[in-house]
Amino acid sequence: MNMWLFFILFVLIFTFCLEAVVSFLNIGALTSTLPKEFENIYDNDKYKKSQEYTKITSQFSLIQNGFSTLITILFLLLGGFNMIDLWARSFGFSEIITGLIFTGILILFSFLSGLPFSVYSTFVIEEQFGFNKTTIQTFILDIIKGSALIIIIGAPVLTLILWFFMSAGTYAWLFCWIGVFIISLFLQFIAPVVIMPLFNKFSPIEEGALKDNIIRYANQENFKLQGIYTMDGSKRSSKLNAFFTGLGNFRKIVFYDTLLEKLTELEITAILAHEMGHFKLKHITKMIVGSAIQTGILFYLLSLFLHSKGLSTAFSMQHLSIYSSLVFFGFIYSPVSMLTSIIFNVISRKHEYAADKYAAVTTAQPELLIEGLKKLTIANLGNLTPHPLHVFLHYSHPPVLMRIKKLQQLASLPQ
């Protein structure tokens, strides 16, 4: 057996088995005993509902991963990549256009194979637990808009990458790195004003006590807000959320309309303080730098495999090409991607604790953030007792009970 084929099959099967073990451990970690931190605000029926939600979503995710893994392995072993490549080449276009067709067909195939799961998750599971607010029309429009963005943004970026690797020689990876980094920064700037409004409606927050509290706190922290908005999150789901988005002059704070309905004004201000903490503590900048380093490593490693005949043979390819090597490299990079994801999650969890502390100290009322976190968790049917391995592999935020305990420690300190 080809060495690369053996390695790729091993990675695919190992990854699925690992996720299966983690899913079973996570379900097994569920406990019928309600943690004392939630005893006063979480009734037993809703707590049972949250556990059922965790079970069903975990099992569904495992089935989806299993199906995806099986389809990928069969597609690989039966020469599916080569068939698509031969079809793309039959049009007689240039290498770059052929590469765009090849990649586009793979993306389409991946989308179609995952579509039934997306439909079931949205209109059956999320509906069953009272979250889904998405209409069929919105669902279809999201697909159309997302596809358009892939074509408008993804196709030129892929074209640029292919052109660099075909024309720039030894340092092509460096040019790709710089180009992709600049484009990603640009997208972060324009996303709040160009891309995000394609999917949701953003409205300036109404005049009133909430806006006054937010502005008062922002002025206290010498933090210039470019805008405070509400987003029609209820258009798709009843879940709660809030976030900062954009960079520089396009920076804005966004609250889901569902969050404004569930939390008090002071609790919302505490959530804002947490998000502001990420900016004040330079977490956003650090993660951008870390992501840039990761991208550079990715492109350098990619450059080492672009002309690998062994890798191409593993996928039963009749023709060696840069565009197909880009796709195949993703399979062998998967373990590295998992490792970097774990590292980023570890750093992110530390950042969350730091942002919680920032909010607790600057508002001088840690209990407000505690109450806000509790309400967010209850409304979203969050898992109160995730298994440590599941947290280690997948959580970018610490489990809510850990965050609450840290905040309670801060609250007990003398002022």
Per-residue pLDDT tens, the chain, 415 aa: give them. 689 999 999 999 999 999 999 999 999 999 888 888 888 888 888 899 999 999 999 999 999 999 999 999 999 999 999 999 999 999 999 999 999 999 999 999 999 999 999 999 999 999 999 899 999 999 999 999 999 999 999 999 999 999 999 998 889 999 999 999 999 988 887 887 788 888 988 888 888 888 888 888 888 888 777 778 888 888 888 887 877 776 666 667 888 888 888 888 888 889 989 988 988 899 988 999 999 999 999 999 999 998 889 999 999 999 999 999 999 999 999 999 999 999 999 999 999 999 999 999 998 889 999 999 998 899 899 999 999 999 999 999 999 999 999 999 887 665 5
Amino acid sitting at position 276? M
SS3 assignment, position 398: coil
pLDDT at 102: 97
Output the CA torsion 396→399→402→404 (10° steps). 100
Say whether both 211 and 287 belong to one domain.
no
Residue 268 amino acid letter: I
Domain limit, last residue, from 228, 262, 296: 262
Q: What angle do CA 357, 360, 363 make, to 5 degrees?
A: 140
Q: Are residues 232 and 350 in the same domain?
A: no
Same domain, 246 and 316: no
> Looking at the structure, do residues 7 and 67 belong to the same domain, yes or no?
yes
Model pLDDT, residue 94: 95
Amino acid in the structure at residue 45? D
Q: Are 40 and 68 in the same domain? A: yes
Backbone angles phi, psi at 41, to 5 degrees: -125, -5
**Rounded distance, CA 38 to CA 54, Å?**
17
Q: 204: which strand partners?
A: 229
Query: Are 308 and 395 members of one domain?
Result: yes
Tell me the helices (H) and strands (E) count for the chain, helix number first: 17, 4
Domain for residue 150, yes or no?
no
What's the pLDDT score for residue 208? 84
For residues 291 and 248, state if they share a domain: no
104 and 215: one domain? no
Q: Are residues 253 and 332 in the same domain?
A: no
163 domain-assigned: no
For CA atoms 80, 84, 90, 93, the dihedral sign is: negative
Parent domain of 374: 3-132+280-412
Q: What is the pLDDT of residue 228?
A: 81
Is residue 322 a part of any domain in this protein?
Answer: yes
pTM of the model: 0.89
- What pLDDT score was predicted for residue 249? 60
Residue 139 lies in a domain: no
Same domain, yes or no, for 394 and 287? yes
**Residue 221 counted as domain residue:** yes
Evaluate whether residue 155 is within a structural domain. no
Contacts of residue 312, defined as CB under 8 A and 6 or more positions apart, other chains included, come to 319, 320, 321, 324, 325, 328
Q: What is the DSSP letter of 206?
A: P
Please state the domain count of the chain.
2
Residues 297 and 243 both lie in one domain: no
- What CATH code is carried by the domain that includes residue 227? 3.30.2010.10
- Whether 217 and 272 have beta carbons less than 8 Å apart is answered as yes
**8 domain-assigned:** yes
Tokens for 299? 């492109």
Burial label, 39 (beta-carbon count in 10 A; 0-12, 13-18, 19+): exposed
Same domain, 257 and 300: no
What value does the CA radius of gyration of the chain take, rounded to a whole number of Å? 24
- Confirm whether 236 is domain-assigned: yes
